Structure 1
Amino acid sequence: MFKSVYVYKYSMIFLLMGSLTNFAMCLNCLYLGSSVYVEWEIVSLNTWSIFMTLILDWMSHLFMSAVMLISSMVLFYSGSYMSQDSSQDRFMFLVLFFVLSMIFLIISPNLVSILLGWDGLGLVSYCLVIYYQNEKSNNAGMLTALSNRVGDVAILLSIFLMFEVGSWSYIFYLDMMKSMEMVVLQSLVVLAAMTKSAQIPFSSWLPAAMAAPTPVSALVHSSTLVTAGVYLLIRFSPLLESSTAFKVLFLISSTTMFMSGLGANFEYDLKKIIALSTLSQLGVMMSILSMGLKDLAFFHLITHALFKALLFMCAGALIHVVKEYQDIRLMGNLVYFMPLTGSYMSVANLALCGTPFLAGFYSKDMILEMMFMSDLNKIIFLLFFLGTGLTVCYSFRLVYYVFTGQMNLSAFHNIEDSDLMITNPMTPLFTGAVFSGAFISWLIFPYPYMICMSFYFKTLALWVSVAGGLLGYYLNMVSMNYPLKSLDNYSLVVFMGSMWFMPYLSTKGLSSGVLSYSQKMKILLDKGWSEFYGGQGIYHFVFTQSNFLEMLQSNVIKVFMMLFMIFLLMSLTMLL
């Protein structure tokens, strides 16, 4: 155990030093207004060369700094959380490889090298989701892997289409690729980002991935796997501005934000509530990115990563001390037993809701104000404000059930904040959840935007948040004191609480439809006609002909006599 703890500490120190170094280089790039493009020739043969390319600008440095900071805290946190696990070293190396894949994706301006990091994230996420090796984990891992394979195929097809511009380093050809011929490439990039960032109809894998250990969830659902799609679109945004693909993505992401916020209000699994919260914020990032505001989307991505990692770590601490229960109805009144974790989780929830002047306020408030100033229709406007209100509603619901409700544990258990290896890593993320919004906004937006609107529009976000909080408090107070009210509208509750039947459509619906049809095509074509006239048929034809030619070349008199007799019989037949 002590050896594993030291390994976690050394890994944490290494990643923390990398985070500080990258942040210093980010400040340097912002101060000088420069970026570095590195091209390393690996193999050169005549006119054919293989290059490894890296891009190091303020955006990649800041993102790497956030990823390394969160992963270092998660690894240190895992030293205690996973202390009873029999294969801690395997867990640690999987997490480190996961971080390496994400860093590789961040610094790659080349589609081929992006695919390496992209597939690395997919592979390691599958290994981490099935880490506990039970049936539930296996099903969740398969759903995660198959959903992400759609995006992998889209990236592969994009690499093929990049032949038209003559290079895979897309960063130099974004303006050139705006022609009508590259509409398919634009659609494929957006599709790949939608699968990785779990937009409709690929949303069901993100809550299912909660089968992974909680430290993995803190890393995956804050700054790595789910944000890879957003980061890819940020890099490709000059190509996609004013494109049809972005307009479709805007509608899908707004619907995703509303759907996940609605589903979180009917969920009772602690980790799945936070996962649906992540899905809602991914919808916010995709929406503002679809409007062409990539810096604002990146700003929300960084601030969200810090307070969401803190939220997951607090949830893990709660689950760890209440006998591994995840149902919030089995918790309650924990604020008296775990005041530090309760304080950290409350601050993370307030930052998520956009409370002034925490981290989430600076990005969410600016996003909503930019939405007001754009030419949106009433439906999108309504979806955004319902999504904002629902975020506060399920956050208050979570706090009400976990910290202020009745204690519902079935037996006595020691509940306290005594483990410093769990509480200490939360402190830097708590600091980030409080101060990072103001600090990063000064860095990214040194010149203020002039946003002019009426008093009612300016305070509308605040009023919607207050209304959502009150609604969440009173509805859940009623649900705890007057149970089974949901049975009156059972069908509607099941529809809203099951992510609009998306998990069913992604598993049983897909297997009974598309996958069963593909199985029939495999039997009919791959093992049928194409096998007979394809590989096996060609092999049989070539084999028999080569045997015949070999027989002809053996110089045996019997062969020539036989051929002569055949020729003679054919000639006589023709004469007669």
Structure 2
Amino acid sequence: MLSICKIYFYFFLMLSLFLFFFGLNLMILDLSLIIELNLLTLNSSSIIMVLLLDWMSLLFMSFVLFISSMVIFYSNEYMEGDLNLNRFILLVILFVLSMMLLIISPNLISILLGWDGLGLVSYCLVIYYQNIKSFNAGMLTALSNRIGDVALLMSIAWMLNYGSWNYIFYLEFMKNDLIMNLISYLVVLAALTKSAQIPFSAWLPAAMAAPTPVSSLVHSSTLVTAGVYLLIRFNYAFSSNLMLFLMFISSLTMFMSGLGANFEFDLKKIIALSTLSQLGLMMSILSLGSYKLAFFHLLIHALFKALLFMCAGNIIHNLNNCQDIRFMGSLSSQMPLTCTFFNICNFSLCGLPFFSGFYSKDLMVEVMSMQFLNIYIYMIFYISIGLTVCYSFRLMYYSLTGNFNFVSLNCLMEKESFMMKGMMGLIFFTIFSGSLLMWLMFSEPYFICLSFFLKMMTLIMVLLGMFLGYEMAKFKMNYNLKSLKYLTLSSFLSMMWNMPLISTLGLNFYPIYLGDIYMKTFDQGWFEYYGSQNLSKNLILTSKFLQLFSNNHLKIYFMMMIYWIIFLLLNIY
């Protein structure tokens, strides 16, 4: 009898192949299908579900399904021994279905269903291991994404001005409208939270508390790419000011995450920060107007990043759940196939010539070099490329070469298993996807005319990054007064410019502190004396005084009559 993992693996794989060829067919014919499903008709009101099937949504769906099928197959062994394996697989499937809904929706309401589904299921998956670290990470993830959800709800409210929520019809010809500008700003805010750009970056490395198969899925093709995909769909409506703002934020994120990864020692967090760097790259090229290039890199990055996480998972699995790269070393002799895959993915990430990542990264950088931009953008792009290569080679040095620093009694091995088969399913596409997608997506090749220096600039930065990464890995730090400055700098950079502190303590410490002062000073202080307590005392005194009147009413009546007579006599005389 087939297990639940295998059933969903085969189903997703078949569906992925079908969608891929259907998408190619639509691309060749230059067709887009909009399907309207009438869900409910009540009197004169109709609830209609709208689906948009074009080459972009179908290709993306096929990639998501292919990666998720491999991840589910991989989970069969990785989560072996887990009592709730079926629950885990069903959560992953819910996650993928939410992403599907988001991809094929030209309507803001159905996008919100997929968007919120991703947020909710990601919370369930991040807290899967049920410890304090997982709970904190899950809450940070959920609350950071909630800001984007609110922005999307507000954009739904503003879309009412157009009489329909099908944004796809209004993007281009309402571009200069004030309301469409406002909606596009809100959509960008939503995308910044989902794709973890500055200042919402803290949740992305924190979400590494989830099981590794989930990280593989989240960081390649689902949760974090949802924001980029939404911006690709909305790109026609963006004003030049908004694009400038997006360019600044995304380039800063790219730089910050590249720096942070060079000072990090947690294997999964380094790969998470590299995802953040690539998201910044996608958004920055999108803000320069090349949405097709952003989508091209999105697909290629999804494949090699999923495999990179799978390799990391295999290493962690064999090292008894140790994630610190300082304990690794000489893994290439113990786990040759995993290390081969790991190297191929790292080279793709760096954009080394003729690996899949090269086709998109090199093209993006050269398109950026063709534009008339200021020196800041040029510098930050090229430095970020150098930093990517730097942390990749540092990671390779720590994990694949040198001495093995873990316990002598270890169980490092590679056997023909579900994990290895899942990784083998992705490796061929990781190698060939770059050239394949380039031939398919760009019918006319890009003509790029640059000077020799600008052409060689990418290669120079790659080589410089390699050298720096190797030197940084070799650098042995002495804990003395001289290295105190270095320690302060490295802790600041590895903490992503203190963003996790700002996102957690920075947001809840001061409100709670002020609440404490308010309670002591007002609720249990002056307000207590001059407010409710004092008021009740005065009311009790007054009611007692009035009660005196009611208890002795006859005496009081005669007394009042005497006072009245005296008052009259005084007035007469």
Show the 5 A alignment for 1:340-359: 340-359=337-356
Match of 2:555 in 1: none
Q: Give the equivalent residue in structure 1 for 2:210.
A: 212
Stretch moving more, 115-124 or 469-478: 469-478
For 2:399 and 2:497, the matched residues in 1 are separated by 26
> Of 293, 300, 303, which aligns to 2:300?
303
What is the match of residue 513 of structure 1? Answer: 510
Which whole-Å CA distance do the structure 1 matches of 2:298 and 2:113 have between them? 22
Given the alignment of the two structures, is residue 418 of structure 1 paired with residue 425 of structure 2, yes or no? no
Q: Where does the alignment leave 5 or more consecutive residues of structure 2 unmatched?
A: 521-573
Separation in structure 2 between the aligned mates of residue 340 and residue 302 of structure 1, nearest angstrom? 24
Q: Cα offset for 1:519? A: 10
Deviations 1:301-345 (A, max 9, x none): 000000000000000000000111000001111100000000000
Q: How does 1:274-285 map to 2 (within 5 A)?
A: 274-285=271-282
| TM-score, with structure 2 as normaliser | 0.88
- What's 1:203 paired with? 201
Distance in 2, matches of 1:114 and 1:519, equals 41
Distance 1:219 1:407 in 2: 30
Q: Is the 8 A contact 2:181 2:237 kept in 1?
A: no
Q: Read off the aligned partner of 2:244 and give its amino acid letter.
A: K
The secondary structure found in structure 2 opposite 1:447 is: coil
2:191 paired residue number: 193
Q: What CA deviation, in whole Å up to 9, does each residue of 1:151-178 have, x standing for no partner? A: 0000100000001111000001112432
Letter matched to residue 198 of structure 2: I
Q: Provide closer, same or farther for how the CA distance between residues 462 and 285 of structure 1 changes in structure 2, counting only shifts above 3 A.
A: same
| CA distance in structure 2 between the aligned counterparts of 1:275 and 1:428, rounded to whole angstroms | 22
Q: Find the partner of 2:230 among 232, 238, 244.
A: 232
Match 2:474 to one of 444, 466, 477: 477
Who is 2:106 aligned against?
109
Specify which of 443, 454, 457 is matched with residue 457 of structure 1: 454
Question: Post-superposition shift, 1:486?
Answer: 4.8
The root-mean-square deviation of aligned C-alpha atoms, in Å, is 1.9
> What SS does the corresponding residue of 2:237 show, helix, strand or coil?
helix
Q: Deviations over 1:265-294 (max 9, x none)?
A: 000000000000000000000000111111
Q: Distance in 1 between matches of 2:518 and 2:142?
A: 22
Amino acid at match of 2:367: M
Number of the residue aligned with 2:88 = 91
Shift of 1:417: 1.0
Is the alpha carbon distance of 1:19 and 1:519 closer, same or farther for their aligned partners in structure 2, counting shifts above 3 Å? farther
Corresponding residue number in structure 2 for 1:373: 370
Cα displacement (A) at 1:479: 2.6
Task: Specify the SS of the correspondent of 1:424.
Answer: helix
Which letter does structure 2 place at the counterpart of 1:394? Y
User: Aligned pair 1:335/2:337, yes or no?
Assistant: no
Is 1:35 the counterpart of 2:57 in the alignment?
A: no
| C-alpha deviation, 1:518, in angstroms | 8.9
Deviation of 1:184 after TM superposition, in Å, equals: 1.8
Tell me if the contact between 2:171 and 2:180 (Cα under 8 Å) persists in the aligned partners. Answer: no
Classify the secondary structure of the residue corresponding to 1:167.
Answer: coil
Query: 1: CA distance between counterparts of 2:61 and 2:282?
Result: 18
| Percent identity of equivalent pairs | 57
Question: CA contact under 8 A between 1:23 and 1:61: conserved in structure 2?
Answer: yes
Q: How far did 1:411 drift? A: 3.3
Aligned partners of 2:519, 2:187: CA distance in 1, in Å?
28
Q: State the partner residue of 1:360.
A: 357
Aligned partner letter, 2:121: V
For 1:399, the aligned partner's letter is: M
1:60 aligned to 2:57? yes
Mapped partners of 2:158, 2:231: distance in 1: 17
Which one of 438, 443, 446 corresponds to residue 441 of structure 1?
438
* SS of residue in 2 equivalent to 1:318: helix
Q: Is the 8 A contact 1:486 1:493 kept in 2?
A: no
* Change in 2 beyond 3 A, CA 1:213/1:102: same
Taking the aligned partners of 1:405 and 1:198, their CA distance within structure 2 comes to 34
SS state at 1:42 partner: strand
**1:349-406 per-position Cα deviation (integer Å, ceiling 9, x unaligned):** 0000001101100000010001101121111111111100000000000000001021
Alignment-mate amino acid for residue 387 of structure 1: S
Residue-by-residue CA offset, 1:213-271 (whole Å, 9 max, x unaligned): 0000000000000000000001101111x332221111000000000000000000000
Using the TM superposition, give the Cα deviation of residue 420 of structure 1 relative to its aligned residue in structure 2, in angstroms.
Answer: 1.8
1:76 maps onto 2:73 in alignment: yes
Larger radius of gyration: 2
| Paired amino acid for 2:218 | V
Q: Distance in 2 between matches of 1:416 and 1:210?
A: 24
Indicate conservation of the 8 Å contact 2:300/2:357, yes or no.
Answer: yes
Of 260-269 and 450-459, the range deviating more from structure 2: 450-459
1:45: how far off? 2.8
Unaligned 5+ residue runs, structure 1? 524-576
Q: Is the 8 A contact 2:72 2:89 kept in 1?
A: yes
| 1-structure distance, mates of 2:244, 2:483 | 37
In structure 2, relative to structure 1, the CA distance for the partners of 1:391 and 1:522 (3 Å cut) is farther
Contact 1:269 1:328 in 2 (8 A): yes
Determine the C-alpha separation between the residues in 1 that align with 2:265 and 2:384: 19
Deviation at 1:86, TM superposition (A): 1.3
